[in-house]
Structure 1
Amino acid sequence: MTEHVEGGAGRTAGGRRLGRRPGSADTRGQILAAARETFAEKGFDKATVRGIARRAEVDPALVHHYFASKEGMFVAAMELPINPDEVIPALLAGPREEVGERLARFVLTMTSHAQARQPLLALVRTAMTNERMATMIREFLTHALISRVAQALDIPPIRVELAFSQLFGAVLARYVLRLEPIASVEVEELAGHLAPTVQGYLDPAS
């Protein structure tokens, strides 16, 4: 193992240190960023600690130092940059007949940013291959999202599930399958196409 030596020792001819990047104040963040990308690409089962460490350019021992296991790293990495306690009231504020449009625009705008989209895709891929994670994700979606929106709108939970299923399907078509023209159309236009269908699910049952 290359030791940390000041000066020329332990460096390449160009001045770069040999070996992997040592721990630093931002090492945890570097590992999380690499984990999000890896989980989004491979899902939970096929991602490896060594692969994530290689992408982050750190020693695998540092991954275990910051996260006790791959599961622990996944839980930290899938933390979305949104707070349901703030987002849900904002979505439900305003005219009831426009909630479908607000929801469609919010989901499509959020997922247009890789920082938010990658954890979401990691969740979807992991749920397809790991039942334990699928159960955890289902419980989170049911209690933190579906039930709260259904209660606020006074509609059956299945109608909220169908609304979100419509939007998640569009996200997968746009970013995973890359179906055209869904993949390249502007967010506002796509939201306009989806909003009436989403609104139909969220309207009071007739």
Structure 2
Amino acid sequence: MSSMAARGRRPGDTDTREVILAVAREMFTEDGFTKTALTGVARRAKVDPALIYHYFGTKVDLFVESMTDTAEFQDESTADGLHADRSGTEVVAAFLRNWELDTEAPGRAFVAVTQAVASSPEATERLKQFIVEQTWASGKGTTDYDADRRRSMVSSQLIGIAIARYILQLEPLSSAAIDDVAAWYGPTIDRWMQGANPHPED
């Protein structure tokens, strides 16, 4: 489970929590962050609205957990982010697959995330940290001369790919197979993950 999703988690009935998460994920994806109300989530999930506040706290908390705490995210990553020894091609492929779990509308979850970022500074900070953790949060580079810059560059590349693919729908990027996109961008990710210090005298 990601550290972002686990932060501040309240104890409760697992089945009820999972129902709420599934409904919330569906509504946030369909209607966006701004238009989704916690009362609406409770109504569709057939639970008392107080349970949502009890289990998750705020709307931002529910949004972040519902959009990131999926089995697929956990399978593709570790608690410390994507495996540090993965190639750039593997990192790109894993990142895109996480956003294309909905085969009927690939990338729709990423669009919902960008809408939340545009309307909530708190969601922006939480999701930014989550994306960094999921892409390259620890392992090989954490003691490098510029680990923070490397993480930032890897994350910005992946986010840029997702924006071009899902929001701007630029061709041929938009319709290309995930493996093809990963092959195109993998070497660039490798450069930032594993490249040598361009200023060895530093």
TM-score, with length taken from structure 1? 0.65
Q: Distance in 2 between matches of 1:100 and 1:166?
A: 11
Q: Is the 8 A contact 2:20 2:41 kept in 1?
A: yes
From the superposition, tell whether residues 128 and 180 of structure 1 become closer, same or farther in structure 2 (CA, over 3 Å).
same
Matched positions, count: 174
Distance 1:63 1:120, change over 3 A: farther
Change (3 A) 1:186 1:57: same
Q: Which amino acid aligns with 2:20?
A: I
Structure 1 residue runs of 5 or longer lacking an equivalent are: 1-24, 94-98
Say whether 1:62 aligns with 2:48.
yes
Aligned-partner residue type, residue 67 of structure 2: M
Q: What CA deviation, in whole Å up to 9, does each residue of 1:135-154 have, x standing for no partner?
A: 23344455676552531665
Among 177, 197, 202, which residue is 1:205 paired with? 197
Note the alpha carbon deviations across 1:13-42, whole angstroms, 9 max, x for none: xxxxxxxxxxxx955433322211222344
Say whether 1:180 aligns with 2:168: no
Structure 2 equivalent of residue 131 of structure 1: 121
Q: Deviations over 1:53-106 (max 9, x none)?
A: 45x363xx6233243443443243134332533653x3415xxxxx21221222
- Counterparts of 1:127 and 1:165, CA distance in 2: 15
For the aligned residue pairs, the C-alpha RMSD in angstroms reads 3.4
- Residue type matched to 2:171 in 1? E
Does the 8 A contact of 2:117 with 2:124 survive in 1? yes
CA deviations 1:117-147 (Å, max 9, x no partner) are 6665444322221112222334445567655
Q: 1:157 to 1:79 in 2, by over 3 A?
A: same
AA of the residue aligned to 2:102: A
Which residue, 163, 181, 186 being the options, matches 2:154?
Answer: 163
Kindly report which structure 2 residues correspond to 1:130-149, keeping only aligned pairs within 5 A, or say none. 130-141=120-131, 146=136, 148=138
Q: Aligned partners of 1:72 and 1:143: how far apart in 2?
A: 17
Shift >6 Å, 4+ stretches: none
Give ranges in structure 2 of 5+ residues lacking alignment: 1-13
For 2:182 and 2:34, the matched residues in 1 are separated by 33
Is the alpha carbon distance of 1:171 and 1:205 closer, same or farther for their aligned partners in structure 2, counting shifts above 3 Å? same
1:16 equivalent in structure 2: none
TM-score (norm 2): 0.66
Q: Describe the shift of the 1:162–1:185 C-alpha distance in structure 2 as closer, same or farther (beyond 3 A).
A: same
CA contact (8 A) 1:33 1:77 kept: yes
Tell me the CA shift for residue 191 of structure 1: 0.7
Aligned residue type for 1:114:
D
Q: Which has the higher contact order (CA 8 A, sep 6+)?
A: 2
Partners of 1:130 and 1:146 lie apart in 2 by 24
- d(CA) in 2 for partners of 1:124, 1:139: 14
Identity across matched positions, percent: 24
The answer to whether the 8 Å contact 1:146/1:157 transfers is no
Query: Using the alignment, how far apart are the partners of 1:28 and 1:147 within structure 2?
Result: 27
Over 3 Å counting, the alpha-carbon distance change for 1:51 and 1:165 in structure 2 is same
